Amino acid sequence: MKFFVDTADIAEIRDLAETGLVDGVTTNPSLVAKSGRKFTEVLAEICEVVPGPVSAEVAATDFATMMKEAWRLARIADNITVKVPLTRDGLKACRALTKDGIKVNVTLCFSPAQAILAAKAGATFVSPFIGRLDDVSIDGMALIADICAIFRRYPAFTTEVLVASVRHPRHVVEAAKIGAHVVTVPPKVLRQLFDHPLTDKGLAAFLADWKKTGQSILGD
């Protein structure tokens, strides 16, 4: 499973990238707005820090303007993945961009039927939003299971399932068990994956015992 980090905060991205665990980044207009910086400048900097796919979302809703914006975004860096909404015009743009060799992330997926359309349109990634489904009492992980099961039936589908709107570590574990290709997580959730009270307790005990020996691995 690949880990993408869902943020436009360059400091957070730099810090997490140093762990070697970050395979890509997803952004959206809301995340970039929080940075208070120019959209294209933020994206260019992120692309320098993370060599993997960096999703950059169009703001237009009509096909013609989507295409203009998509090409503007694609020129920022070679690792830009253009993000389009799962609408008729979005899928039309996905098909056209894919034919032109541009990677596309189709976002705001909430049903297996939508995911099938994204795969048919040649999307590089399709992003089902599990947290938002959970918020309205619909099982988000069931959606991931359905999409993965369908995609496995059709080897011609090359679209990767990118689990989005992740709220906690359990979402990550469940997505991995199902076989999703990618999860994109907020920095907080990625850091939570490291944590376990028994790890902390065990390490404290080891360090206390080592201190009693009065030794140093690095010598005197």
The per-residue pLDDT for range 25-56, each reduced to its tens digit, is 999 888 888 888 888 999 999 999 999 999 99
Task: Output the average pLDDT for the chain.
Answer: 96
Per-residue pLDDT, 34? 82
> Domains in the chain, start-ordered, CATH in brackets?
2-195 (3.20.20.70)
Per-residue pLDDT, 215? 92
Per-residue pLDDT, 189? 97
Mean pLDDT of all residues in 63-71: 98
- Options 34, 68, 83, 211, the catalytic residue: 83
Q: If you write DSSP's letter for every residue of the chain in order, what string do you get?
A: -EEEEE---HHHHHHHHTTT---EEE--HHHHHHHTS-HHHHHHHHHHH--S-EEEE----SHHHHHHHHHHHHTT-TTEEEEEESSHHHHHHHHHHHHTT--EEEEEE-SHHHHHHHHHTT-SEEEEBHHHHHHTT--HHHHHHHHHHHHHH-TT---EEEEBS--SHHHHHHHHHHT-SEEEE-HHHHHHTT--HHHHHHHHHHHHHHHHHT--TT--
For residue 220, name the pLDDT band (cuts at 50, 70, 90). Answer: low
Per-residue pLDDT, 120? 98
Per-residue pLDDT, 196? 94
Task: Report pLDDT digits (tens) over 93-151.
Answer: 999 999 999 999 999 999 999 999 999 999 999 999 999 999 999 999 999 999 999 99
83 tagged catalytic? yes
* % the chain with pLDDT above 90: 94
